[in-house]
Structure 1
C-alpha cells in the first residue's frame, strides 16, 4: 500500500517539470518578442494596429493610426485635390444682370466741358476793355467796406479790389476783370473789378479800395496819374454759378463768379439750341420768360473760349462750383 501511493504521486511529479519548463519558455519568448517590438517602434512616429474587435471582418481589417508620440513634430496629411477642386489662376468671369441698375442721382457740383477754344490773338468778344491795350487815367480811392459792390459778388476775401468808371464798366462787362494799375514812379498793384464808379468818374479812371491805393501812395494824395491794362492771372479759383434770389423755372437771373477772364456772353439751352441772355447793370444775365432756367449753360470769355455747364439746379442765392476755369492768356 505504501508503494502504490508513492508511485501514484511520482506520475504527476514527472509531468509537472515539463509543463512548467514549457510555460516558462513560452513566457520568455513572448517577453523577448515584446521587447524587440518595442525597440523597433522607438524610432517610429505612429503605431499601426489591426482592428480585431468582435464582429470585425478579417478580410477587411481596418488600419488604425495612433497619434504622434510626445516630442514628435506633427505633420499635416498631404491631400491631392481632384481636378474639379483645383483653384484656377484665372478669375471667374462676371455676367452682368439683364436688369438695368438705377441711375445715380446727379451731383450737387456742376460738371463742365470745353465746347470750343479760340486761339485768336485778338479778343473777338471784348468790349471797351481789351487785352494788350494800355489805358490812361486817374486813380482815386473809396471806402470799400466788406468789398461788395455793383457787381454783387458779395463780400470780398481779398481787398485788392476797385470800381471801374461808368463808361468802361459797360453794363457790368468789366465785372470780375483783373487789371494791373501802375504809377509813373513804378509802383503797381493788381486789383479785381467788383464795383462801378458812377459819373462824373471819367473814362480811364479807376476808383481803388483804400487798401489797394495805399500800395501805390499815401491816402492823403487823393488821386494819382496811372496807366492800367487787363490781365489773365494765375489762379486756383474755379468758376461758380449763382441764381438770383426769386429765380424759378419761369424767371431767373444767372451770375458767373470767380472767372479768370471777363465773361462776354452767357447762353441757356432752349428750343433745341442756345439762347443768349441780356446782361443787367447788376451783373446778372436775365431770362424774363424763364427760357433755359435750370438747364445747361454755355459761357464765353472775351477770348472766345466756351464752357458748357451741366447739372446746375435753380438754387437761389447759392454758389454752385463748376470745377472748371477759363485758361490763362
Structure 2
C-alpha cells in the first residue's frame, strides 16, 4: 500500500472520530451533569454542619415560628368566651343586688347610730314570740322595726368604752323612740352601762350569730285550711319572704305588723313553706299540719354570714 493511501485513510478516520465526538449527546449532558454536581456540592456545603448553618437552622425554626404565630390568633379568641361563661364573676354582683332588694332598713355591713334605753322585757313583745330563756333582747324603734321586718334580727350593740352585747329583736319601741334607738332589756343594758345611766349613746349593726337552734313554724290561733297565719321562729338571719306552695306555684304571703304571714284565702295552708332570708338563701319546709298555736320544729337553719 502506498504511503499516500495510508495518509488519506488516517485522515478519514480522524474526520469520522471528530464528527462523532461533536454529534454525541454526552457533551451537552455532561455540562448539565457538571452544573448539577456543582449545585449539589453547593447545597451540600450549605446544609453541612460545618457550614454557617443559615439554611439548616433558619429553615427549621421558620416552620415552628409559623405554627407558633397561628396559635396566638386562635388561643386568645377562646379566652373571652371561657371568661364570659364563668359565673364566678357575676355571682358577687347578683348576691349584692339580691341583698339590697331583700333587706329592709336594717342592712348587712351598715353601722347605725342612736341611743340605748331599757325596759322590763318579760313579755313576748310585738313580734309575738313566746317569752324564752334568752333575756338579751331589744325593742326596735318604729322606723327601723319597719312593720315587723326587724323581728328575729340579731344586732350587736356597742357602747362607749368598748362594751358590747348581742340582742335579738323581739319587740317594737313606739312613741318617742327615735330612728337608731333600741330599748334594751334590763339585762342587756346592764352589760353596757350601769342602769343608773338610763340612756347612753350607742352604735349597732346586724350580725349572723352562731347557733345550734333550728327554725320552727307556728300557725296562728284561728288558722284552718280556709285562712291561716304562719310565723317562722328562731331564724338566724332576718326573714325577707315566706311563700306557700299552692296549685304547684309558690305564692308569697304578705307580712302583718305582728309578725305573721297571712293567707287570707287559705291558699297553701298546710302545704310546703319556703323561707328566704335577706341574703337570698331559701329553705323549704315540708308540708305541716295546720295546728293552731303549736310550735312545730324543723331541721333547717340559714347559713351564718
TM class, shorter-length: 0.5 to 0.7
Identify which of 129, 135, 140 aligns with 2:117: 140
TM-score (norm 1): 0.63
CA deviation vs aligned residue, 1:169-213 (integer Å, no higher than 9, x gap): 011000000000001211110000000000221100000000100
C-alpha separation between the residues in 1 aligned to 2:150 and 2:125? 13
Bigger relative CO (Cα 8 Å, ≥ 6 apart): 1
Tell me, yes or no, if the aligned pair for 2:273 and 2:287 is still in contact at 8 Å. no
Correspondence for 1:284: 260
Match of 1:250 among 226, 233, 240: 226
Q: Cα RMSD (Å) of the superposition?
A: 1.4
2-structure distance, mates of 1:312, 1:322: 10
Aligned pairs, how many? 212
Whole-angstrom CA distance in 2 between matches of 1:120 and 1:289: 33
Q: Which of 255, 264, 272 is matched with 1:296 structurally? A: 272
* Structure-2 separation of matches of 1:193 and 1:181: 12
Partner of 1:208: 184
Instruction: Return the alpha-carbon distance in structure 2 between the equivalents of residues 164 and 308 of structure 1.
Output: 29
* 2:245 alignment partner, SS class: strand
Q: Distance in 1 between matches of 2:117 and 2:176?
A: 12
* Counterpart for residue 164 of structure 1: 140
- Give me the whole-angstrom Cα distance separating, in 1, the residues matched to 2:152 and 2:176: 22
Higher gyration radius (CA): 1
Could you tell me how far 1:272 is from its partner in structure 2?
2.3
Match of 1:69 in 2: none
Alignment correspondent of 1:128: 105
Listed as ranges, the gaps of 5+ residues in structure 1 are 1-116
Q: Kindly indicate whether residue 292 of structure 2 is the aligned counterpart of residue 313 of structure 1.
A: no
Distance 1:300 1:158 in 2: 24
Offset at 1:220?
A: 1.0
Indicate if the aligned counterparts of 2:273 and 2:284 stay in contact, CA closer than 8 A: yes
Gaps of at least 5 residues in structure 2 are: 1-90
Distance 1:313 1:185 in 2: 50
Aligned residue runs from structure 1 range 68-79, under 5 A: none
Measure the CA separation in 1 of the matches of 2:119 and 2:172: 12
SS at match of 1:120: helix
Aligned partners of 1:163, 1:268: CA distance in 2, in Å? 29
* Deviations 1:208-234, CA, capped at 9 Å, x for gaps: 000100001111111000000000000
Corresponding residue number in structure 1 for 2:163: 187
Superposition TM-score, scaled by structure 2 size:
0.68
TM-superposed deviation, 1:271: 2.9
Structural mapping, 1:212-251, within 5 Å? 212-251=188-227
Task: Please name the residue that 1:328 is paired with.
Answer: 304
1:121 Cα deviation after fit: 4.5
Q: How does 1:14-53 map to 2 (within 5 A)?
A: none
